[in-house]
Structure 1
Amino acid sequence: MSATVIITGAAGGMGRPAATRFAAQGYSLLLCDVNAERLAALASELRAGGTEVSTLAGDISAPEFPQQLLDALGDAPLFALVHTAGLSPSMAEAPRILEVNYFATERLVAALLPRFEAGGCAVLISSMSAYLLGDPAMVSAVQDLVAGKGREGVDGHATNPGMGYTLSKRAVIGLVGREAAAYGERGVRIVSIAPGFIDTEMSRAEAKASEQMVRMMGMTPLGRLGVGDEIASVAEFLCSPAASYVSGCDIKVDGGIMGRLGI
């Protein structure tokens, strides 16, 4: 039985290229997405190339989702998680964004930890926006949330979808740091990737809704948008032996925009 890679948001702009890359390495795939039709199409395409693919269509924030995922995994050895599923500001209100982007991620990370093989890796997706959280009170609220001291502070600051998104992604970075010890005890790593402006369906929708985002896109030092495969390639690297001492941290893949902003 070949080792399995779980990819959430598999039918999306970052998940699909990640699935293609890990399929090319010969891993079995367990693909998850909320869009059952697009998920089935991707699975069919990969199976035609000889990849062993299982699927789980559903809402990652549903309380029963982690157990459903474990049931779908069965006895297969788990090598990696590439967790790209999430919501952007134009897709939901702040409470829903926090639930999907952070709380569902926290439950997923906890449920899968016992199933990883030694040498495995969990890769989460944060965001460059997490670095734009400059208010000390908001930073402290996120720290309290991640430390298990309650969510009241974060809920109080999540006054709109954009702020809910930023807080949720800052919390993902905190989660990676928090869980590095538990993962490390099992010989497993956990890392996050902070994408900048990536040319996906989700980011195009956000650009239409935000003039500020369009202006910031124009400031990217590399002078272009990234593509989903440039995130997938970093996830592939992070799960490889070449990154065997990388854990508990966030990797910016942003074309240099945060550096330009002095962050």
Structure 2
Amino acid sequence: MNEADHPQGAIIITGAAGGMGKPAALRMADRARPLILSDVSAEKLEVLASDLRAQGARVATLTGDIADARFPERLVELLEGQSISALIHTAGLSPTMGDGQRILDVNYFGTERLLDGLAARMAPGGCAVLISSISGYMITQPTMIAAVRAMVHEDRRDAVAAYTQTPQMAYPISKLGVMLLVAREANRFGAKGARIVSIAPGYIDTEMGRAEASASEQMRAMMERVSLGRMGAGDEIAAVAEFLCTRAASYVTGCDIKVDGGAIAELGL
């Protein structure tokens, strides 16, 4: 893919020092577009930014928590009037990283605020890529699905309160919420000539993924049923995100794309 495949404007990557964000940053750094990289770890973020700058990339950084109400505003300030050609939003928490309310705040409500803050700055032809999870497909109870829909479409956090007391339940609810949010936002992004898509990773060999596998016997058992017989790599998610942010994916919007090695297909969901 060459520079002409990408619209003009800055590229924003959240969770940029993480297992999916870092390979996304490495891939997008050669697009000859300004990069704005964000992460909660200032140290890891600066190491990445320094490496990319040494390769000639233009990089600005923001250390911050996606759940902070001012986070989107701080990103907009770093744009300095530029539009956004690509947003790759990988920041998020897994079940071992917080309680139910914290996970919901970061994974869903933080993402919703991010889109509210950045949607108007999207460039024509630009794309926002969010990270959902195959766990969202594992919610099959109609009353639970209805509760998540009420959260997304009616702004009713109370609708999911009974289901988010544990991080193990809050996580898939937050990720189903991301999928529904993408569908909800497709028209708003389309009005700008931009697109929005989510990627549902399966079992990915990142620090976060390994921690979850270590903590969950059920997850380890499910990993053995993956059609391709292995965990995925962070760069395999980044590669799909990169493709979605090019003109080659210009008619893909408002949907979720499974990148899971066949895990959901094997489960029959």
Q: What is the TM-score when the length of structure 1 is the normalising length? A: 0.98
- TM-aligned CA deviation for residue 110 of structure 1: 1.0
- TM-aligned CA deviation for residue 134 of structure 1: 1.2
The runs of at least 4 consecutive aligned structure 1 residues that moved more than 2 Å come to: none
- The CA deviation string for residues 173-204 of structure 1, in whole angstroms up to 9 with x for no partner, is 00000000111011000000000000000010
After TM superposition, the structure 1 = structure 2 runs for residues 242-253 of structure 1, keeping only pairs within 5 Å, are: 242-253=248-259
- Which residue of the other structure, out of 167, 173, 191, is the alignment partner of 1:167? 173
- Asked if 1 retains the 8 angstrom alpha-carbon contact of 2:182 and 2:196, the reply is yes
Task: Give the whole-Å Cα distance in 2 for the aligned partners of 1:125 and 1:101.
Answer: 9
- Asked if 1 retains the 8 angstrom alpha-carbon contact of 2:101 and 2:165, the reply is no
Letter in 1 for 2:151: L
Letter in 1 for 2:208: M
1:113 corresponds to which residue? 119
Q: Tell me if 1:188 matches 2:197.
A: no
1:102 corresponds to which residue? 108
1:148 corresponds to which residue? 154
2:234 corresponds to which residue? 228
Three-state SS of the structure 1 residue aligned to 2:48 is helix
Q: Tell me if 1:47 matches 2:66.
A: no
Task: Give the whole-Å Cα distance in 2 for the aligned partners of 1:227 and 1:26.
Answer: 25
Where structure 2 has 5 or more consecutive residues not aligned to the other structure, the ranges are 1-7
1:33 corresponds to which residue? 39
Task: Give the whole-Å Cα distance in 2 for the aligned partners of 1:137 and 1:153.
Answer: 10
Task: Give the whole-Å Cα distance in 2 for the aligned partners of 1:208 and 1:171.
Answer: 26
Letter in 2 for 1:148: E
Letter in 2 for 1:78: I
- Which residue of the other structure, out of 237, 248, 254, is the alignment partner of 2:243? 237
- TM-aligned CA deviation for residue 3 of structure 1: 2.3
Where structure 1 has 5 or more consecutive residues not aligned to the other structure, the ranges are none
2:140 corresponds to which residue? 134
- Asked if 1 retains the 8 angstrom alpha-carbon contact of 2:196 and 2:254, the reply is yes
What is the RMSD of the two structures over their aligned residues, measured on CA atoms?
0.8
Three-state SS of the structure 2 residue aligned to 1:80 is strand
- TM-aligned CA deviation for residue 60 of structure 1: 1.1
- Which residue of the other structure, out of 54, 72, 83, is the alignment partner of 2:78? 72
Call closer, same or farther: CA 1:222–1:185 in 2, change over 3 Å: same
- The CA deviation string for residues 200-229 of structure 1, in whole angstroms up to 9 with x for no partner, is 000101011100101111110101110000
- TM-aligned CA deviation for residue 149 of structure 1: 4.3
- Which residue of the other structure, out of 65, 86, 92, is the alignment partner of 2:92? 86
Letter in 1 for 2:229: G
Q: Tell me if 1:5 matches 2:11.
A: yes
Task: Give the whole-Å Cα distance in 1 for the aligned partners of 2:72 and 2:9.
Answer: 19
1:204 corresponds to which residue? 210
Task: Give the whole-Å Cα distance in 2 for the aligned partners of 1:224 and 1:164.
Answer: 26
Three-state SS of the structure 1 residue aligned to 2:118 is helix
Further displaced range: 18-27 or 183-192: 18-27
- TM-aligned CA deviation for residue 90 of structure 1: 0.3
Further displaced range: 91-100 or 144-153: 144-153
Task: Give the whole-Å Cα distance in 2 for the aligned partners of 1:110 and 1:153.
Answer: 21
Task: Give the whole-Å Cα distance in 2 for the aligned partners of 1:209 and 1:231.
Answer: 23
Task: Give the whole-Å Cα distance in 1 for the aligned partners of 2:40 and 2:122.
Answer: 24
- The CA deviation string for residues 151-173 of structure 1, in whole angstroms up to 9 with x for no partner, is 11212111210100000000000
